Amino acid sequence: MSVCGREKCAFKRKPYPPGVHGKAFRRGLSEFGAELKDKQRVKFLYGLRERQFENYVLSAIAQSAMPTDEAIVAKLEMRLDNVVYRLGFAKTRAAARQLVNHGHITVNGKRVNAPSYQTKIGDEIRVKQSSAQKALFADLSTTLKKYSAPAWLELNKTDFSGKAVARPPAGDFIKSYNLSSIVEYYSR
């Protein structure tokens, strides 16, 4: 998965810092620097502010129902803006966040305009009927024909709705991002 969210990514093309001295020899990152970098990467991926991300991590550390790594992934992936993105209703998480903010998305028949809303297993996420007629969603049906949602989500391509049927698996996410270093960062 790319940091930018698309195939052509500046971070892949030039994996060194910008500027004249970017390619020059750099000292290795300290342990703190590596933890900070991992935290920033995940935080920016989901478009969260520091306090909100910190609250997610600290609540995942405090609970004991599941491993901390899985709890962090569940908190982040079950956010309404992320579920809208994963269902394919928006091309980016930022666009999904805006769709939710502008009231185009309903959860179980009720309009929800908070991108941080935590969806639950069994919640039905739908594009509002009146919004589906707007130009914003004109090409959504053709986009969804080619799209396949993750296994933990059930997508109905005809009426622009979806349902969370399981918890998001943490395996792939944990391989891509070092969540244990994020936990260590906030445990200081």
Non-local CB neighbours of 34 within 8 Å, separated by 6+ positions:
178, 181
Residue 94 has a CB neighbour count (10 Å cut-off) of 14
The three-state (H, E, C) secondary structure of 73-111, written as one string: HHHHHCEHHHHHHHCCCCCCHHHHHHHHHCCCEEECCEE
Residues of the chain with CATH 3.10.290.10: 80-164
Cα–Cα distance between 135 and 27 in angstroms, integer? 51
* CATH architecture for segment(s) 80-164: Roll (3.10)
pTM to 2 decimal places: 0.84
pLDDT band at 1 (very low <50, low <70, confident <90, very high): low
- State pLDDT tens for residues 108-158: 999 999 999 999 999 999 999 999 999 889 899 999 999 999 999 999 999
